[in-house]
Structure 1
Amino acid sequence: MITSTSPSHSVQEALASVVFPETPANMYDPIRYILTLKGKQVRPVLVLMGAELFGLQAVTNAIPAALAIEYFHNFSLIHDDIMDKAPLRRGQQTVHEKWNDNVAILSGDGLLIKAYEQLAKCPKEYLFDLLNTFNKVATEVCEGQQLDMDFESLESVTEEQYIHMITLKTSVLLGGALKLGAIIAGAPVAQQQLIYEFGVYVGVAFQLQDDILDVYGDPETFGKQVGGDIIANKKTFLLIKLLENASQDDIIDIQQLLACDLQYEPNKVQLMKTLYAKYNIRALANDKKAHFTTLAFDTLAKIEVGQDRKEQLYNLAGDLLNRIR
């Protein structure tokens, strides 16, 4: 460890110290609720790690940016869950399920505003670059979510299209979090770009792993509905590769499965898993995840700071990309 206080502990302390208004309760109670749901808080931790990587003295100055990233991330989760009609988030009821859609939309909007409020507390000399980075990432996350929804009405999606979508929807926020920290630490622009790319590659690998866990994860520990992507006919990497590799006869069966819901075919998830096994789809997904993991670590190796400074990032990425459930 480089500091006596870990980035994770610093984030937890910062979140615990935030006080939101008591009224209107239906706006602020959902905000308090989602921010206290058990999660790894990876993105705000990455902001602090990005700052710590390039300058220990920058960590305290980066805390508002870490909160901004955490607020934005949870804003996006609240709204995404409404669009996906998701019942669970981190093993608990989603905000729209616990309250209703209107409350969820408004509390999500409130979190987004609070994110900018935190970002404005960062050192003034870096605000221009911070805002440019934050706005670019925030826009791309929304674009990724729209592409994800657009895919629902497309007959087919290519692997390239899918990787592009998850890069926007999931990965740029990890890269952007690291870059915000690097900006506050005064890192050279080339180094900012490398740490951003490292985060993006980790994010793609992480999302591919999430696709795998959605099908093969333990429902007691996964935190979301296992098989939810299959039930919702999401065009994940696994489904895309299945459609690429399946025989014509099996494609007919796949299309029939996609056309029915659980009420009509209660064994939909298991039948799709049988097809995945037939064409070794899980292995193909693991291979693609390994590819982006290698890109991530190769990029981190290029960053011009001491190896000891990178240790926390190696460890965090390893933890994220080696979940078994």
Structure 2
Amino acid sequence: MKLDINNLSELINDRIAQLDFGDKPLELYEPIRYIMQLGGKRMRPILAILGYSLFDENSNNIIEPAIAVEVFHNFTLMHDDIMDRAPIRRGKATVHEKWNDNVAILSGDVMLVKAYDLLLKSPDDRLKKVLLAFNKCASEVCEGQQFDMNFETKDDVSVEDYLEMIRLKTAVLLGFSLELGAILGGADHVTCQHLKQLGTDIGIGFQLKDDLLDVFGDQNKFGKQVGGDIIANKKTFLLIKALENAKGNTKQELRSWLEKKDFDKTEKVLAIKGIYDQLDIQKITQQKINEYFDAGLKRFKALEIAAGKKEHLIGFINKLMNREK
């Protein structure tokens, strides 16, 4: 397959639509098809394919294992939405809202099994490496989710705590995506680990960018409610830095908004955005985003791979860096 970055998402969606998850009972399999067809950026399978293309041009060899990462990702979303009591996912009702918690739990369990089925399409001589790397990553994603839930009732979350949480919950799966591509492409262990860390750096930058867009993004471009994290008192990098840097009346005002149980949502968002502006939080966050993206790009450029083979992945990383949604 000739690599064309603009068509990769379409190709992945077509292959996902063709997957046979199962038919009966309908209540078990319909929610899987539902969440998988809600769309999304598909960046994890794209990263796996781009990672593979650094070492082998025949990207058809990695399509099914790459889609396994997307199935696993959506499995985590299905279960996370239950834990977060989230009503909306990508503009549509979440599975537990459309059906119920028990259906969402069981359908999610089947998705995890299906992810393994797709990973088993890997060549026999590389399968053990793939499964060991995936199992480590999957455990870390669960650790990150638990830390995130712990933070809901923890008052003293530090920047370091938060960065470690998003590394586990979000970034390691992007790291595994590149690592998967490298393993299946026949790269040596050092190169695989190098790409894994690159993807993890990019993943942290991506999540920080998501935090930033949630507050300062364009509502029409972002695709979900701007200010949702503020309304929910979610402990993001922005809030943690604001609590760390605020003094006197500013800190008192910020604390007051965080403690209010009854408030106007629009008023709260505007008030806390105003505090963020006073404290230069947008600039501070963007600097931290750039730090992680720059670290990833520096790591990538150090790889001894022909520049022509790197251009698609660099282009995709730049797209993630400059996204507005």
How does the TM-score come out when normalised to structure 2?
0.94
Question: Could you tell me whether the CA contact under 8 Å between 2:21 and 2:114 is conserved in 1?
Answer: no
Alpha-carbon distance between aligned partners in 2 of 1:231 and 1:114, rounded to the nearest angstrom: 36
Amino acid at match of 2:299: T
> What is the SS of the residue equivalent to 2:220?
coil
Question: Could you tell me whether the CA contact under 8 Å between 1:88 and 1:223 is conserved in 2?
Answer: no
Amino acid at match of 1:264: F
> What is the SS of the residue equivalent to 1:129?
helix
Q: Is structure 2 residue 201 aligned with structure 1 residue 201?
A: yes
Alpha-carbon distance between aligned partners in 1 of 2:78 and 2:321, rounded to the nearest angstrom: 24
1:9, distance to aligned residue in structure 2 (A): 4.1
Identity of aligned residues (%): 47
Corresponding residue number in structure 2 for 1:53: 54
Q: CA RMSD in A?
A: 1.7
Question: For residues 60-119 of structure 1, what are the alpha-carbon distances to aligned partners after superposition, in whole Å with 9 as ceiling and x for unaligned?
Answer: 222221121011000011111222222222222222222222221221111111101111
> What is the SS of the residue equivalent to 2:128?
helix
Corresponding residue number in structure 2 for 1:15: 16
Alignment of structure 1 residues 146-295 onto 2, 5 Å: 146-261=146-261, 263-266=262-265, 267-295=267-295
Question: Could you tell me whether the CA contact under 8 Å between 2:171 and 2:203 is conserved in 1?
Answer: yes
Q: Which moves more between the two structures, 134-143 or 14-23? A: 14-23
Alignment of structure 1 residues 60-99 onto 2, 5 Å: 60-99=60-99
Alpha-carbon distance between aligned partners in 2 of 1:292 and 1:4, rounded to the nearest angstrom: 26
Alpha-carbon distance between aligned partners in 2 of 1:37 and 1:249, rounded to the nearest angstrom: 44
Corresponding residue number in structure 1 for 2:307: 307
1:4, distance to aligned residue in structure 2 (A): 6.1
Alpha-carbon distance between aligned partners in 1 of 2:2 and 2:205, rounded to the nearest angstrom: 26
Gaps of 5+ in 1: none
> What is the SS of the residue equivalent to 2:21?
coil
1:2, distance to aligned residue in structure 2 (A): 5.7
1:300, distance to aligned residue in structure 2 (A): 0.7
Gaps of 5+ in 2: none
Alignment of structure 1 residues 106-117 onto 2, 5 Å: 106-117=106-117
Alpha-carbon distance between aligned partners in 2 of 1:76 and 1:264, rounded to the nearest angstrom: 32
How does the TM-score come out when normalised to structure 1?
0.94
Question: Could you tell me whether the CA contact under 8 Å between 1:191 and 1:304 is conserved in 2?
Answer: no
Amino acid at match of 2:181: G
Amino acid at match of 2:45: P
Amino acid at match of 2:166: I
> What is the SS of the residue equivalent to 2:221?
coil
Question: Could you tell me whether the CA contact under 8 Å between 2:221 and 2:324 is conserved in 1?
Answer: no
Amino acid at match of 1:94: T
> What is the SS of the residue equivalent to 1:277?
helix
Alpha-carbon distance between aligned partners in 2 of 1:215 and 1:317, rounded to the nearest angstrom: 22
Structure 1 stretches of at least 4 aligned residues deviating more than 4 Å after TM superposition: none
Question: Could you tell me whether the CA contact under 8 Å between 2:71 and 2:111 is conserved in 1?
Answer: yes
